[in-house]
Structures are given as C-alpha cells and as structure tokens.
C-alpha cells in the first residue's frame, strides 16, 4: 500500500490547476441512463471514484470511453442490459446510489445495493428512498438491496419535501423527476454548485427545470431526453484544499479556475484568519497577509455555508494559528478522526462530540500518520507541509478517490513531497 512522504520545505510559489469537480462528475455520469443519445462530459477529473462509476455504468450496459487522457468522458446508454447495481461495485462508493433515480425513470424498476464509501458516520439513504416514493415508486429493502419499481406505468410528478438538506437525495430526485409524468416540486432542496451544474446539463438534454440554486426546484417532466456536451464545474473542494497550502506554509499560489462564489463562506474564514484571496483572470491568488495565522471559529453547514469537506483541511491550518479555534461539525458525525493523527504531529486538539477545540502551537513535528478518509488524508499532507522534519502518510488510497496528481501539483509549486510504494 503506497504512502506519501512530505518534508516541510518553506513557502510555496506558482500555479496549481484545479480539476473538474468529483462530486459533480459522479452526478452527471448517471444522467446518461436517462437517454439513448450520447452524453459527453469535458473537464472530467481523473480519479478512482470516476473509474468506479464507469465500471458501474458499464455493468448496466452503458458505454463509457475516457478520451484526451481521461479529461473527456463519452457516454452512451442506447441499449441498457441490466437494472441491477451489484454490491461488489456499489460498496466502494456512496455515489453509486445515484443510478437509482435514472433507472426508475427510464426502465421502471431497479435493484441497487446499499452503498459504501468513507467511514465518516451514518449516512443513510432513506432520503433518497423517500424521494422515489414521493414520485410514485414502491420500495423494498431486501438482502442488502433496494428493490424499486413503478407500478403505475412510470414515475409520477409529485412533491418531494426533504426533512434535511441532502445533496445526494436532491440529485437523485432531479434525475428521476425529469422523466416523470407531470410536474414535481423539490422542497428544502440542496443549493450546492454541483446541483446547479447537474441542472444545466439536464437542461441541455431537454429537461424543464427551474429554481436551481434555491431551496425549491420545480421540474416539468418530459417524455424523453436527448444527448448533450457539458463541461464539469470546477472542484470547489480541491480548490479550497490547495488554497490552504500557501496559508499553511507561506508563499503565494494561484489556483487556476477558481472563483470566490464557489467558496464564499470559506474565503470569509480565510480572511478572518489573516489570509488574502484575490480573484484574477485565471483563478484565485492566495497568500498570507502578514505574520502568524489567527484562530477562527468554523461551523460546517450546507451550501452556501462552510463545506464539511474542507473541515479537516481547515483544522490542519488552525493547528499552528495564534489562539484557540472552535470547529463545529454539523453535517456528519465521526468526522474528527484526523484529529488524533494531527495530535501525533504535536497539535493540541480537544474533541467532544461534534466540536473540536484547536489551540495553536508554534510548530508541528513530522511523524508517521494514517489517513482515515478522503479529506483527512489531504489534511495530513497539508500539516506535513508546515511541520518540521518528515511526515509519512499511509493508507493514501483514500486520496486517490478525490485528488488527481496531488504530488505533481504540490511539487510544482515547491513542496517537497513524494509517493512511495509499499515496502
């Protein structure tokens, strides 16, 4: 199993290209199941999760080709051969549940294994199932699979009211409602940029949707969808991660493709901590304003609030801030598993339930640490950039699910980082 070795090496300088959004691409790919015409996605990230979704779609009979070094995905579902998403594939990634809505909409039935993914607490799929039921589907959980069908000749338009804001459930409901008979309304819908990106793609395919980016989305079902070409939106989580690199260890880095509107709450917290973020023609230029980072409080919230997927990385920054920061995790429980690893590097962190108190120290020390999930893995790399000596991060297979070429991108701006195979 590979490891990544990071050695604190001073300030960074240069440009980092930001990839297309993993979470957007994983939502866009199942949209191919809604049409028998080709769907082409450009600016696709080159990640193991994308390969897992490719395998899943191919198992259903879809054709998926990775072109231009993987940055273009050519998809076609002109002849589906199965409506069963097997456990052996689905267990690797939670986003696999997003084939449920399209399969029900097009075929009227589906069997989808309950999904897996990062071990960051209970992430139930009940909101997805409720959404399908609101659109007329009958659902049964049996032998670890969701068995779903539409007994009345296809999905019917309806009102889907989410008791909690859920990005994945909103996406699944959209993918189902576009081919349902009649109008649908999604209430308390998620507002994330990935939702807006999905709607833009579905609209290109012929869907009739309004209200994206708000908490109420209206969908008028259509009889069929066509093909389209769509560019995947910039990955705001990769963007925020690399914005933290010069904040952690000094210097100035321009993140190509970045825009403040993707991360306004995050940028506000950076400003309060003493980090300058400047929008340029090409992206976002990030640098410390002066001196030591200041402690700030962070509360994770659905968009447009502070993203839960940047909480671990922000904690790495605050480990060396002046003062005590309080991080409150309101999206997922068990999402402070990186804290003990940061403490191995000398961080002062006290975790109680969904709250972590981080008291900044002058300097972190390099140490062997272990990644527990995708975002935790990159937080340890960021901490290693600021630490004295060598930090060895093991179990980096998590990293491959969400960050392409992390060693190349960081070494390109002066970081001392390498990936080494298992001994």
As a whole number of angstroms, the distance between CA 46 and CA 407 comes to: 14
Domains and CATH numbers, the chain: 3-19+235-420 (3.65.10.10), 22-231 (3.65.10.10)
Lowest mean pLDDT among 19-23, 141-145, 237-241, 261-265: 141-145
Dig out the tokens for 26 from the structure.
């994983």
363-384: average pLDDT: 93
Choosing from 118, 201, 249, 319, the catalytic residue is 118
Answer for the pair 6, 406: CB distance below 8 angstroms, yes or no: no
Strands (E), 114-191: 138-142, 145-149, 159-161, 183-187
Lowest mean pLDDT among 1-10, 175-184, 218-227, 309-318: 1-10
Q: Is the pLDDT of residue 164 over 80?
A: yes
User: Percent of the chain scored above 90 by pLDDT?
Assistant: 86
What pTM was estimated for this model as a whole? 0.92
Annotation marks residue 118 as catalytic: yes
Q: What are phi and psi of 399, to 5 degrees?
A: -60, -40
pLDDT digits (tens, 9 = 90+) for 108-130: 999 999 875 433 344 468 899 99
Q: How far apart are the first and last CA of the chain?
A: 8
Q: Is residue 75 helix, strand or coil? A: strand
Q: Is residue 78 helix, strand or coil? A: coil
Residue positions in the annotated binding site for phosphoenolpyruvate?
22-23
CB atoms under 10 Å from CB of 143, counted, come to 8
Residue positions in the annotated binding site?
22-23, 94, 123-127, 309, 331
Q: Which residues pair with 84 in a beta bridge?
A: 111
Dig out the tokens for 59 from the structure.
């198992």
As a whole number of angstroms, the distance between CA 243 and CA 354 comes to: 25
Mean pLDDT, the chain, rounded, equals 94
């Amino acid at each position: 199993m590979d490891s990544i070795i990071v050695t604190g090496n001073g300030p960074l300088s240069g440009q980092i290209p930001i990839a297309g959004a993993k979470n957007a691409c994983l939502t866009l790919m199942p949209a191919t199941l809604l049409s028998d015409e080709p769907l082409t996605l450009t600016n696709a990230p080159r990640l193991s999760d994308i390969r897992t979704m490719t395998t899943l779609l191919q198992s259903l009979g879809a054709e998926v080709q990775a072109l231009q070094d993987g940055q273009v995905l050519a998809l076609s579902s002109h002849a589906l051969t199965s409506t069963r998403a097997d456990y052996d594939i689905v267990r690797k990634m939670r986003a696999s549940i997003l084939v449920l809505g399209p399969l029900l909409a097009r075929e009227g039935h589906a069997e989808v294994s309950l999904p897996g993914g990062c071990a960051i607490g209970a992430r139930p799929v009940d909101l997805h199932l409720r959404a399908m039921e609101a659109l007329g589907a009958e659902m049964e959980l049996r032998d670890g699979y969701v068995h779903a069908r539409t007994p009345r000749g296809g999905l019917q338009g309806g009102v889907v009211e989410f008791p909690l804001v859920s990005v994945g459930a909103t996406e699944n409901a959209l993918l189902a409602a576009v081919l349902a008979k009649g109008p649908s309304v999604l209430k308390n819908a998620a507002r994330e940029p990935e939702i807006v990106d999905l709607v833009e793609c579905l609209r290109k395919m012929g869907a009739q949707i309004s209200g994206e980016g708000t908490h109420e989305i209206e969908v008028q079902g259509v009889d069929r969808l066509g093909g389209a070409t769509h560019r995947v939106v910039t990955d705001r989580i990769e963007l925020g991660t690399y914005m933290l690199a010069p904040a952690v260890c000094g210097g100035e880095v321009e993140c190509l493709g970045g825009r403040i509107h993707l991360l306004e709450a995050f940028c506000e917290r950076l400003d309060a901590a003493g980090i300058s973020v400047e929008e340029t023609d090409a992206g976002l230029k990030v640098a410390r304003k002066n001196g030591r980072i200041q402690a700030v409080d962070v509360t994770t919230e659905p968009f447009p609030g502070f993203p839960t997927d940047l909480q671990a990385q922000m904690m790495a920054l605050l480990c060396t801030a002046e003062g005590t920061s309080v991080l409150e995790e309101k999206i997922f429980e068990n999402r402070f598993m990186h804290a003990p690893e940061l403490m191995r590097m000398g961080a002062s962190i006290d975790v109680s339930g969904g709250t972590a108190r981080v008291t900044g120290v002058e300097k972190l020390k390099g140490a062997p640490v272990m990644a527990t999930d995708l975002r935790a893995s990159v937080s340890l790399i960021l901490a290693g950039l600021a630490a004295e000596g060598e930090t060895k991060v093991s179990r980096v297979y998590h990293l491959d699910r969400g960050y392409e070429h992390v060693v190349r991108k960081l070494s390109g701006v002066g970081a001392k980082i390498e990936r080494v195979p298992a001994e």
